[in-house]
Structure 1
Amino acid sequence: MAPCSPKLPTKFKIRSISLPPRSHPTTLRVEEHLNSLKSSLSSSSSPPPPPSVESLCSALSSLADLYQSLDDLLQLPLTQQALSQHYHHHHKRFDHLLDGPVRFLDILGNTRDSILSMEEGVRHLQSALRRRKLGDSTVLDAHVSAYWNLRKNARKNSTKSIILLKQIDASLETFLPPDLNAHLSAVVRVLTEASLVTGSVFYSLLAFLSSPVLKSKPNNKWALLSRLMQKGALVSENQEANINVLEKADFAINSLIVNSATQDADVAQKIQYANRRLEDLVEGIETLENGLGRLFKHLINHRVSFLNVVSL
């Protein structure tokens, strides 16, 4: 089975920024944000642990703080003067840094759309489960099918976004502008590193959304049981550390479907379990959406500040 979290680029595991001690305090503050964020993203274990909602939200919050400090850096008269003068003579050297936030905003917007669609679908499924508990099973299958489609679409869209992130990383790797003064060199360096670490956070988020869909096939529940055993899912509820909240919801729904022909008491228990897992998923989605919303605003501000500087 494919790992649920891609391996972080080596640079995030072994390299930290070390700016000259005479750098501006605002630049050094950005450096601290970057090194702290990259340290939290690195993992000494192999393979790295699967991303959780908690770790993703922490990374999104730290990333938003990073872009706030970058905005402070771009507001410095020293930065504005140096960047504006150099951009007008060598603008192609800065195109990747200028376009990066736009491409991140596109990925972020698509990711938010997928998350919001999934939240709506999960709420519909919860409503169908409540009706199933009351004896109405006519609409459950349709909402379960819709849920699987949402999971597959989110996985598909996330895979496409990961390809775009790789393209962004590749373009930034070759961006090494020469002949910059000390301050502007430090600014370009932290801006480049910020784009790289943003890509790393997005990799983890997209890996979470592209978690394998644990859907059982008709008349093939043993194949599902084998997959769940490999994921460590067939254990007690308090020992489900090896799967994330998406996969837990998948497992709960499959358990309900596979056991739909059992006695009413068993079905009621499975419905209760599925509802708990779906509620956990909704809470996780809402938390992620809030984090993405805050980051979206800071990325917009960063893009506007950058444009204002190079337009001087």
Structure 2
Amino acid sequence: MKNNSLSAVYICLLILIFGCNTPKKESEKISKEGYTTSGQNPKWVRSLINAYRTLNDGQSIEAANQLYEAAELMPKKNWEIYFMAATVYSTKNKNEEAFQSLHKAIQAGLRDSVLTATYPSLSSLRNDSRWNTLLHTISNNRKKYTQSIKNPELLKELEEMWAQDQLALSQYEEKTKSLDSNASVEEYQLLFKAVEDRWEINKNKLDSIIDIHGWPGNELVGEDGAKISWAIPQHYPDVFFKQKCLSLIKKAMKKGDMDPNHYAELNDRIARDIWQKQTYGASMGQGAPHPIQDPANVDQRRVALGLLEPIEVYWKFLPN
């Protein structure tokens, strides 16, 4: 059960975030090069946009090739892109290319052997003699990672909190399948009560963690733990709790202890919750971004915050 829970953590985080921890100095350099969506984007940005467009048309070898090439061009390597390429290669029985992509993902920070071992699209690789060695390498990556952070026990606690969040949501989805088409709103609300209870537990636990340790950022719990500490207020419905966390994330971000994406996404989520236009284009609606203030200059605001990817790349990474 524990392994499945940890796998759920990373599967959900793949969907939640396109992580690019960019120092401000680097983002300032990029902005001077003409960092816009008006045809002046860096080569890696154009390459990644084209890769997503191809992938949207279907999981083809061409799409996998383009994802891999885009990942190679990125100024900061992103393991999720290599991993995505590997899953497409695997479904096309291109094992050599899939293993190459996974090794690149490991170099870029892939450290969850459970996610890798159980990911359905990688099933064609499991009988390959290199498979167990690959999983062992990923496990070693995880060990080195946990040794590099200040509080690995707190990371485990956050991972369990997020796993319980995901478990409550998945159980809710399963239970709603048993409802017939005439089910009332009250019946859905009754089933959703368990999810709300879990959100309340996680909110209270995060409050306690903050009281004891301060905001759990990269230095204290690593990038994985920092993502979870950001994701918990994303789910919690109370806007005042979100605003409290946003203030702490902003302080941590200024010290280089939180990914700027986390600040942007929670900031824009709050704007959406209170029916305001968002600032960074980080909050999506049904297949399109929530309305943005001054959209012509959104990329300039993203660069100023320290976000590496322009808005078109960000939108294409998020599911519709």
- Specify which structure has the higher proportion of helix: 1
Give TM-score scaled by structure 1 length: 0.31
